[in-house]
Amino acid sequence: MRYLPKSPADREAMLKSIGLGSVDELFAPIPAEYRLSRDLKVPRQMAESEIVDYFRERSRENGEGYTSFLGAGAYSHYRPVIIDSLISRGEFLTAYTPYQAEISQGTLQSIFEFQTMICELTGMEVANASMYDGSTAAAEAVMMAVRLTGRRSVVVARSLHPEYREVLATYATHQGMPLSVAGFGDDGRVNLKELEKSITTETACVLIQSPNFFGTIEDVAAIAEVAHKRGAMLVVSIAEAVSLGIVEPPRQADVIAMEAQSFGVPLGFGGPYCGVIATREKYVRQMPGRLVGQTVDKQGRRGFVLTLATREQHIRREKATSNICTNQALVALMVNIFMTVYGKVGLKELAGQNLAKAAYAASQFAKHGNVLFAGAPRFNEFVVQTSEDPHIINARLLGQRIVGGLPLKKFYPELGNAALWCCTELTTRNSIDTAVRLVADSDGSAPSTKEEARAEEVAR
Amino acid sequence: MKEGIRKATRHVNQNEGLIFEKSSAGKAAWKLPPLDVPEIDTSKLLGSSARKDLGNMPEVSEIEIIRHFTRLSTWNYAIDLGMYPLGSCTMKYNPRVNEAVARVEGIANGHPYQPEKISQGAMRILKTLSECLIEITGMDAITLQPAAGAHGEMTGLLMVRAYHQSQGNARKKILIPDSAHGTNPATAAMVNYAVENLKSDSRGMVDIAALEAQMGEDVAALMLTNPNTLGVFEQDIHKIADILHAKGGLLYMDGANMNALVGKVRPGDFGVDVMHLNLHKTFSTPHGGGGPGSGPVAIKKILEPFLPAPVVVTKADGTLGFEYNRPQSVGRVRAFYGNFGMFVRALAYIQANGPDGLRQTTEDAVLNANYIRKGLEGAYDLPYSTATMHEVVFSDKLQAKKGVRTMDIAKRLIDYGFHPYTTAFPLIVPGALMIEPTESESKEEMDLFIDAMKSIADEVEEDPQTVLDAPHSTRVSRLDETSAARKPVLRWKPAV
Q: Quick count: other Cβ atoms within 10 Å of Cβ A32?
A: 8
Check residue B4 and give its pLDDT.
63
Q: Does residue B6 surpass a pLDDT of 90?
A: no
B3 — pLDDT class (breaks 50, 70, 90): low
Check residue A326 and give its pLDDT.
86
Angle at A452 between CA A447 and CA A455, to 5 degrees: 130
Measured distance CA(B105)–CA(B102) in Å, rounded: 9
List, in order, residues 6 or more apart from B282 with CB less than 8 Å away.
B90, B255, B258, B259, B262
B277 near A CB under 8 A: no
Amino acid identity, position B33: P
**Partner-chain residue, chosen from B73, B158, B490, that has the shortest CB–CB distance to A291:** B490
- Per-residue DSSP letters for B237-279? HHHHHHHHHHTT-EEEEEETTGGGTTTTB-GGGGT--EEEE-T
Handedness of CA B393, B399, B404, B409 (dihedral sign): negative
Burial class (CB in 10 A: 0-12, 13-18, 19+), B481: middle
Among A96-100, A215-219, B2-6, B264-268, which is the least confidently predicted range? B2-6
pLDDT tens figures, B41-64: 999 999 999 999 999 999 999 999
A447 — pLDDT class (breaks 50, 70, 90): low
pLDDT tens figures, B457-488: 999 999 999 999 999 999 999 999 999 999 99
B492 — pLDDT class (breaks 50, 70, 90): very high
Terminal CA-CA length for chain A: 42
Handedness of CA B214, B217, B223, B228 (dihedral sign): positive
- CB spacing of A267 vs B440 below 8 angstroms: no
CA B472 distance to own-chain centroid: 29
A16 near B CB under 8 A: no
Measured distance CA(A68)–CA(B111) in Å, rounded: 9
The SS3 call for residue A256 is strand
Measured distance CA(A291)–CA(B201) in Å, rounded: 37
Kindly list the residues from chain B whose CB atom is less than 8 angstroms away from the CB atom of residue A350. Answer: 30, 32
Phi, psi of A307 (to 5 degrees): -140, 170
pLDDT tens figures, B438-457: 999 999 999 999 999 999 99
- CB spacing of A40 vs B65 below 8 angstroms: no
B292 near A CB under 8 A: yes
Distance set, CA B398 to CA A7, A398, B377, B401 (Å): 35, 70, 12, 6
Q: Does residue A99 surpass a pLDDT of 80?
A: yes
Mean pLDDT of B237-259: 97
* Mutate which: B48, B63, B75, vs A, most A CBs within 10 A: B75
Q: Does residue A291 surpass a pLDDT of 60?
A: yes
Cis peptide before A211 (omega within 30 of 0): yes
Check residue A360 and give its pLDDT.
98
Check residue A446 and give its pLDDT.
54
- CB spacing of B49 vs A217 below 8 angstroms: yes
Q: Does residue A380 surpass a pLDDT of 90?
A: yes
Kindly list the residues from chain B whose CB atom is less than 8 angstroms away from the CB atom of residue A56. Answer: 104
* Nearest alpha-carbon partner for B260 in B361, B161, B154, B188: B361
pLDDT tens figures, A325-336: 888 999 999 999
Check residue A220 and give its pLDDT.
98
A313 near B CB under 8 A: yes
Above pLDDT 70, what percent of chain A? 96
What is the tally of helices (H) and strands (E) in chain B? Answer: 15, 12
- CB spacing of B332 vs A310 below 8 angstroms: no
Length of chain B: 496
A352 — pLDDT class (breaks 50, 70, 90): very high
CA-based max dimension of chain A = 83
How many cross-chain Cβ pairs, A to B, lie less than 8 Å apart? 699
* Average predicted confidence (pLDDT) for chain B: 96
Check residue A316 and give its pLDDT.
82
The SS3 call for residue B486 is helix
Mean pLDDT of A186-207: 97
Check residue A452 and give its pLDDT.
60
pLDDT tens figures, B347-400: 999 999 999 999 999 999 999 999 999 999 999 999 999 999 999 999 999 999
Measured distance CA(A345)–CA(A343) in Å, rounded: 6
Q: Quick count: other Cβ atoms within 10 Å of Cβ B385?
A: 11
Distance set, CA A16 to CA B44, B367, B374, B375, B376 (Å): 79, 11, 11, 12, 16
A160 near B CB under 8 A: no
pLDDT tens figures, A20-79: 999 999 999 999 999 999 999 999 999 999 999 999 999 999 999 999 999 999 999 999
* Nearest alpha-carbon partner for A161 in A234, A248, A237, A258: A237
Query: Judged by CB atoms within 8 Å, which residues 199-228 of B form the interface with A?
Result: none
Does ipTM top 0.90? Answer: yes
B73 near A CB under 8 A: yes
Half-sphere exposure of A257 (CA within 13 A, CB side): 31
Global pTM exceeds 0.90: yes
Query: Judged by CB atoms within 8 Å, which residues 182-221 of A form the interface with B?
Result: 217
Task: Report whether A27 contacts B366 (CB < 8 A).
Answer: yes
Check residue A125 and give its pLDDT.
98
pLDDT tens figures, A255-268: 999 999 999 999 99
- CB spacing of B360 vs A109 below 8 angstroms: no
A322 near B CB under 8 A: yes
List, in order, residues 6 or more apart from B254 with CB less than 8 Å away.
B149, B153, B180, B181, B184, B223, B224, B225, B226, B275, B276
